[in-house]
Structure 1
Amino acid sequence: MAVTHVVVDDTTTHAAAVTSGSSFYLAMRILPAAQREAMYQVYAFCRAVDDIADSTLPRAERQAQLEHWRADIDACYAGVPPAALRALAQQIQRFALQRADFHAMIDGMAMDAAADICAPDEATLDLYCDRVASAAGRLSVRIFGMPEAAGLELSHHLGRALQLTNILRDIDEDAGIQRCYLPLELLEREGISPASPAMIAAHPALPRVCASLVERARQHFAHAERVMDAATRAQVRAPRIMSGVYRCLLERTVRRGFAAPRTKLRKPRARLLWIVARYMFF
């Protein structure tokens, strides 16, 4: 079985790992070189396993490829990384990145690969957010040099804020691939049957469900801001940019509304560049 690894080095950072229009690129470009390259390695890993989960391969093959990645991560920690992951292994050692966080990310992608998620219960949704978003945050805050407790707290809240924003923004796109991440308890409270993602997306009571998740995301953003306010500026410049970008996306999503039909949102590039400049220079 062939598994494609994404390798990030000085020649591929811009062309292969990230695009210059992404919020990740904008946030990472302001980091010192050593942190920036470590973040690109982590991003490449996250993108690779996400691509597997979202591929059209048979589910068994997607699961097998994710398990291959798990074995390769273990090999990095055993000191015998595959050639394509030697640079990642160096960053693991340099920043004491935790194996459990890489495994959590793989576990989150395995949730998507195993079945089309539709109306998970609250506990499952929170576990999913932790795995696919907060786990990446836990890797990142070690690279940023944050103290352990503050870094874990920031990862918890900012990761969930970002993932809930994605869920609210992408209701129609997710329904198009037979997924819906809105929690079962909120849907049932509003009398929405979880029969199918398409039916959920078209239901007239959907805006009330989304309003509850918007408030939850805002609370996570606010908690993350309090953690960042107590940290040194250098440690949180990149997460502040990510928070600013995604808060902007959340508010644009709210202004668009959640009643069907919904228009597809585009990132306001001028606003994003202003956010980057704000945290880079001021």
Structure 2
Amino acid sequence: MNPKATPGALQAQVAGSSFYAGMRVLPKAEREAMYAIYAFCRAVDDIADDQVGDRASRAAALEIWRDDIDSLYAGGPPGQAALVAQAVSRFELARADFHAVIDGMAMDVVGDIRWPPAATLDLYCDRVASAVGRLSVRVFGMEEAPGLALAHHLGRALQLTNILRDIDEDAAIGRVYLPWEPIVAAGIAITVPLEVIADPRIDDVARTVARQAQAHYAEAQAILATRPRGHLIAPRLMAAAYAKVLARMSAEGWRAPRRRVRVSKLALLWTVLRLSLTR
């Protein structure tokens, strides 16, 4: 077995993330499958965010991942995709969802995303976040209809929250994921990323996105409130924790200078305990 694909190695990759607290309470098979999905996402995300490699080499690296995923599903040598092979087999994960994640990362490689139209932003969120959710709900053992709905709404809620949290970090590498329409409606001149996000009217734009995220959190919570079948502490944890991050950002606003709001690991552990007692 590839030493990077062993359960211990995969766990080590996840241990520093905010998702770890929710994953570690899953049963062993589900936990290891989620570690593998996370490791895949981390690998392709690192390619997309590589600020050293040229775009052609990064695009080629993503295509190698796509080819390896295809080979895995065809029964051939899985290459790098060996790390998700067991999860794919055990939980019947869909190849299309792995492809969607790669497609989302490719959007960042083709050219730095700047003030995309709302439809393009929604497509990006579906690929880099909701597709991961679709893989995850299979592992959680959810039925198809509530699982797909939860992946749709919670994935978008989490990704929009990350976009609002990372405005300054993204602009520093030439990206602005805030959508075109509210930027134009606010009267902000489209110049360069650092100038756009420095405009005080960016707060109005961010609040528009925040309302969209809040609506998706509400839909996700409504699905979870029906107590669908599955191991749902992880999505309940992420919904609770990141909704609080969004609330804190909304209270502070998005006018520069902004303070990056972080997920408290202590708060995550407390939320895991609370959810474990109330499920």
TM-score range, shorter chain: over 0.9
| Structure-1 separation of matches of 2:124 and 2:30 | 27
The 1:155–1:6 alpha-carbon spacing in structure 2 relative to 1, beyond 3 Å, is farther
The 1:248–1:197 alpha-carbon spacing in structure 2 relative to 1, beyond 3 Å, is same
The answer to whether the aligner puts 1:207 opposite 2:203 as a matched pair is: yes
Give % identity: 53
1:245 to 237, 241, 246: 241
CA shift digits 1:144-189 (9 cap, x unpaired): 1111111110000000000000011111011111100000001001
The answer to whether the aligner puts 1:93 opposite 2:96 as a matched pair is: no
Q: Match of 1:152?
A: 148
Q: Match of 1:180?
A: 176
The letter for the 1-side match of 2:39 is A
Q: Which runs of 5+ in 1 are unaligned?
A: none
**TM-score, normalised with respect to structure 2:** 0.94
1:47-62 counterparts in 2 under 5 A? 47-56=42-51, 57-62=53-58
Check conservation: 1:138, 1:152, Cα contact below 8 A. Answer: yes
The letter for the 2-side match of 1:259 is R
Check conservation: 2:10, 2:36, Cα contact below 8 A. Answer: no
CA RMSD of aligned residues (A): 1.6
The letter for the 1-side match of 2:21 is L
| Structure-2 separation of matches of 1:250 and 1:237 | 20
The 1:87–1:213 alpha-carbon spacing in structure 2 relative to 1, beyond 3 Å, is closer
CA shift digits 1:250-281 (9 cap, x unpaired): 11212222111112323223222211111123
CA shift digits 1:53-108 (9 cap, x unpaired): 00021000000000000000001101123355335222112111001000000000
Q: Displacement, 1:126?
A: 0.3
| Structure-1 separation of matches of 2:174 and 2:83 | 36
Q: Match of 2:261?
A: 265
1:40 to 18, 35, 40: 35
| Structure-2 separation of matches of 1:6 and 1:160 | 33
The letter for the 2-side match of 1:8 is A
The letter for the 1-side match of 2:146 is A
- After the TM superposition, which of the residue ranges 259-268 and 226-235 deviates more from structure 2? 226-235
Check conservation: 1:7, 1:85, Cα contact below 8 A. Answer: no
Q: Match of 2:6?
A: 9
CA shift digits 1:38-65 (9 cap, x unpaired): 1111111100000000002100000000
1:229 to 225, 231, 235: 225
| Structure-2 separation of matches of 1:93 and 1:233 | 21
The 1:265–1:55 alpha-carbon spacing in structure 2 relative to 1, beyond 3 Å, is same
- After the TM superposition, which of the residue ranges 272-281 and 207-216 deviates more from structure 2? 272-281
- After the TM superposition, which of the residue ranges 249-258 and 94-103 deviates more from structure 2? 249-258
Check conservation: 2:200, 2:255, Cα contact below 8 A. Answer: yes
The letter for the 2-side match of 1:41 is A
The answer to whether the aligner puts 1:143 opposite 2:139 as a matched pair is: yes
| Structure-2 separation of matches of 1:179 and 1:241 | 29
The answer to whether the aligner puts 1:74 opposite 2:70 as a matched pair is: yes
Check conservation: 1:118, 1:196, Cα contact below 8 A. Answer: no
| Structure-2 separation of matches of 1:240 and 1:140 | 13
CA shift digits 1:199-233 (9 cap, x unpaired): 11101111111111111101000000111111346
The answer to whether the aligner puts 1:31 opposite 2:43 as a matched pair is: no
| Structure-1 separation of matches of 2:238 and 2:216 | 13
Check conservation: 2:68, 2:80, Cα contact below 8 A. Answer: no
